[in-house]
Structure 1
């Protein structure tokens, strides 16, 4: 009797490829889910640590005497350092503190009607935490108001309002404002930025006649500053003066930087190398147009310069 052999059905190549594809899709999805959960866990841990650190800072500062709540060498004066490096739960943070006197319009303002003779109604405390090693940048900002326990009294200080705009009169947000007054006791040294309206408003500022040296700039922008009589005999923008119960308003105009490319050539437009020249002019005027030989090629952005003098020291026809 012949023996019948059993036939075994195998797996085809197509079925194998499909199985591998399904396994790969499931595996990749699980890996991405695990990675996302890990990232969210780390972000949540960073946020919890930052929030706890900010709350710790607020509680510590609220327990200080009201007069001590301020930045060292700042306005208002206080005992708090501007920046400080700390570590919490193994995470390194850079703390940046900002304290501002707030003139609340509820009881009038220093430059309003009725006039507020005690314009420093309360203080705005802002805590910025920077964590370069944290996920998603790790920048956190917290703020709170701190009010005095006693009633207001009239102040002998003044206010300093700084406005920054460009050549078109548009306010510049985030402009860096450096203020120094070495005559104050203790000395004042402030580095702040303008708000969305291009303003920096400082209230309850110690008085001083031409004592506040102010410099305004921004990355990619020009720089403008006040000057003293020791630098210029009659400066158009002298150092700021702050008077009792008065508002000093000072404006600065800065703008994006420009590039001037100069090409010296003969009357037949042949380039002349190593030619010394002197260029002088003033800003915020009309644009200088190059001539047919492109002796002076100018590329301008927002800031415009008027070329008033250009002397070329060479015995050719390349003199403007």
Structure 2
């Protein structure tokens, strides 16, 4: 039978437990109520911001509709007009950033310039407006668009059309790619459509004067180049030319970048640290002679004999061992090797201590694949000769007596 003191102690401990549980339940409910109030406040605030933004957009549209048709355009862009591309509007003490874009539209009802049935592609204009709250952490801007027409006769004297085509490494269209054009006192900032195409119908005629840069978040970039950018080499994609009342197409390729992990090993497949390398590869941006988009003349592997190259353009890459400390006696895969877009690849470079005379030979078939176990005979002069068999398509010898050699 429990004593009174034992009953009192038991009741006291139980009351403390009840208090702790009650506090826990209260905290849970209070947190839920606070979170709900916060969410409701954000929804109400976002709705209020959206209402103001809608009013700002409608106001901007009415201002533009009451302008002269010839004035509807962005300053130093095409079509050229009196509008600034970006303007800050303040309402209720809140700043809103308005971005304006104007395009000439080539309506197919009277033919189009790309089919050769309409040399005047400025049928009417598309006005596209975006607004965002400058300090509201707004993720997606609010937008509106409208078409504007005029009764004036079409006229594109001293101007032509420029179509910017953007594709990936597999020639699939890249939509929403950013296109930045400068030249001839014009600036155009726009994006490609679902077909990877940006049409600029009314651009002043100019010979090799339009510099175009194309990019998109998470992808490589591409651009036109001046004839003087690569010394005596000729750019593959020169500054764009627009001819009077003609259509010019320019093409660009962008895609997800790739990564290469380089390992320098000895003939026993053990890491060799601090090997100096030169690397060239990626896209060919100029010819005669060829110029690659990526070129590094002196980069070294780390203490583990490794080095990462990130954010690379797809294409062929070649590696050269610098200095007189090591000779390159082989690689896996063979050099030069090709890497695809959006991929990661490891290449192992086999090096050996440099000697006075070294030879590395690759044996390939008609499809340019390496041939293993191919017999290679090097004639050192009567009666000496050396016979070697390729491993993964390679024959490697790092110390030869003096010439002459025939094989």
The reply to whether TM is greater than 0.5 is yes
| Counterpart in the other structure of 1:166 | 168
| Counterpart in the other structure of 2:148 | 146
Q: Is the 8 A contact 1:71 1:82 kept in 2?
A: yes
**Which of 267-276 and 167-176 deviates more?**
267-276
- Three-state SS of the structure 2 residue aligned to 1:263 is strand
| Counterpart in the other structure of 2:130 | 128
Following TM superposition, by how much is the alpha carbon of 1:33 offset from its aligned partner in structure 2, in angstroms? Answer: 5.9
Following TM superposition, by how much is the alpha carbon of 1:302 offset from its aligned partner in structure 2, in angstroms? Answer: 9.7
Q: Is the 8 A contact 1:46 1:138 kept in 2?
A: no
Q: How does 1:257-296 map to 2 (within 5 A)?
A: 257-283=257-283
Q: Is the 8 A contact 2:321 2:328 kept in 1?
A: no
Following TM superposition, by how much is the alpha carbon of 1:81 offset from its aligned partner in structure 2, in angstroms? Answer: 1.1
Q: Is the 8 A contact 2:321 2:327 kept in 1?
A: no
Q: Is the 8 A contact 2:71 2:82 kept in 1?
A: yes
| Counterpart in the other structure of 1:221 | 219
Q: Is the 8 A contact 1:211 1:241 kept in 2?
A: yes
Q: Is the 8 A contact 1:265 1:318 kept in 2?
A: no
| Counterpart in the other structure of 1:61 | 64
| Counterpart in the other structure of 1:95 | 98
1:310 matched to 2:317:
no
Provide Cα deviations, 1:249-295, integer angstroms capped at 9, x if missing partner.
111012221222222232223333332221123449xxxxxxxxx98
Q: Is the 8 A contact 2:168 2:253 kept in 1?
A: yes
**Residues 268 and 312 (structure 1), Cα distance of their counterparts in 2 relative to 1, 3 Å cut:** farther
**Residues 217 and 29 (structure 1), Cα distance of their counterparts in 2 relative to 1, 3 Å cut:** closer
Following TM superposition, by how much is the alpha carbon of 1:28 offset from its aligned partner in structure 2, in angstroms? Answer: 7.4
| Counterpart in the other structure of 2:114 | 111
Q: Is the 8 A contact 2:79 2:203 kept in 1?
A: yes
- Three-state SS of the structure 2 residue aligned to 1:277 is strand
**Residues 203 and 243 (structure 1), Cα distance of their counterparts in 2 relative to 1, 3 Å cut:** same
- Three-state SS of the structure 1 residue aligned to 2:49 is helix
- Three-state SS of the structure 2 residue aligned to 1:137 is coil
**Residues 54 and 298 (structure 1), Cα distance of their counterparts in 2 relative to 1, 3 Å cut:** same
Q: Is the 8 A contact 2:119 2:246 kept in 1?
A: no
Measured in 2, the distance between the counterparts of 1:79 and 1:71 equals 6
**Which of 230-239 and 42-51 deviates more?**
230-239
Point out which structure has higher relative CO (alpha carbons under 8 A, 6+ apart).
1
Measured in 1, the distance between the counterparts of 2:141 and 2:228 equals 43
Which structure features the higher share of strand residues? 2
| Counterpart in the other structure of 2:198 | 200
- Three-state SS of the structure 1 residue aligned to 2:56 is helix
Measured in 1, the distance between the counterparts of 2:47 and 2:265 equals 65
Provide Cα deviations, 1:159-196, integer angstroms capped at 9, x if missing partner.
00001111111111222212111xx3xx1122222122
**Which of 58-67 and 217-226 deviates more?**
217-226
Following TM superposition, by how much is the alpha carbon of 1:210 offset from its aligned partner in structure 2, in angstroms? Answer: 0.9
| Counterpart in the other structure of 1:81 | 84
Q: Is the 8 A contact 2:129 2:145 kept in 1?
A: yes
**Residues 66 and 142 (structure 1), Cα distance of their counterparts in 2 relative to 1, 3 Å cut:** same
Give the greater-gyration-radius structure (CA).
2
Following TM superposition, by how much is the alpha carbon of 1:238 offset from its aligned partner in structure 2, in angstroms? Answer: 1.5
**Residues 256 and 20 (structure 1), Cα distance of their counterparts in 2 relative to 1, 3 Å cut:** closer
Following TM superposition, by how much is the alpha carbon of 1:198 offset from its aligned partner in structure 2, in angstroms? Answer: 1.0
What TM-score results when the alignment is normalised by the length of structure 2? 0.63
- Three-state SS of the structure 2 residue aligned to 1:177 is strand
Q: Is the 8 A contact 1:132 1:138 kept in 2?
A: no
Unmatched runs of 5 consecutive residues or more in structure 1: 1-12, 285-293
**Residues 318 and 238 (structure 1), Cα distance of their counterparts in 2 relative to 1, 3 Å cut:** closer
